Copies of this chain bind each other. A is one copy, B any other.
């Protein structure tokens, strides 16, 4: 399991908290109306940009950034070679009894077993990949939108505070603290965007690319099996999907 996102989030918040505590009390940095306008305002603007179901689906997607277990490409390649071997020796129908954990590979194998022509199988799987990626992008976009709007809502909050402060400058002593409060919304917006929403959006994009690479690998596997490709050649072809230092061949350049 990949803990980098969770770890990174905790450490980042720790550094920010440390900087706050090093300079005085944390109470200076808590202001409920400021929190409301930045968090509430940002979330409701994001709501405007998507449908309700996309919006609430984003939480499920965020979990993926924290706890996603990635598919092991080298394991997929090994299984591909095994399946190609079975198909070659015992025929396509023999694939039906194989246990396949990965659901996308399983779907592709089912299409082979059902006897659909290679062109159609390729078309169906390709369309599936591009539409799955498109749906994954919605999750990223929601966090990206949150990261884009949070600093803007922070600025709106600060402007509101400044206007109120400037209109009532009778007591010079209150100017400093009033401006401190006004700046808090800008700070909240910057933290929400830079330490939470944007990094998660970027992480989800990375996940999406990995998923795409894995599904392309599976697509190549299915095509190879249908063409009756030599299992050894197929494995060799698929190894291009691995980073060079994970390949078992002797060539270990970088």
Identical copies in the complex: 5
Residues in chain B near residue A206, CB distance under 8 A: 49-51
Q: A37-B15, A152-B190, A199-B48 are in contact. Are A103 and B8 (CB under 8 A)?
A: no
Q: Which of A75-83, A86-94, A119-127 contacts B (4 or more CB under 8 A)?
A: A119-127
What per-residue 1/0 map shows which CB atoms of A219-236 lie under 8 Å from chain B? Answer: 000000000000001001
Residues in chain B near residue A7, CB distance under 8 A: 44, 47
Q: From residue A23, how far is it (CB to closest CB) to chain B in Å?
A: 4
Q: Are B52 and A127 in contact (CB under 8 A)?
A: no
Q: Are B160 and A19 in contact (CB under 8 A)?
A: yes
Q: From residue A64, how far is it (CB to closest CB) to chain B in Å?
A: 8
Q: From residue A30, how far is it (CB to closest CB) to chain B in Å?
A: 11
Closest residue on chain B to residue A185 by CB atoms: B19
Residues in chain B near residue A132, CB distance under 8 A: 244
Closest residue on chain B to residue A179 by CB atoms: B166
What per-residue 1/0 map shows which CB atoms of A64-84 lie under 8 Å from chain B? Answer: 000000100000000000000
Interface pairs A-B: 4 shortest CB-CB:
A8-B48, A103-B253, A8-B47, A166-B180
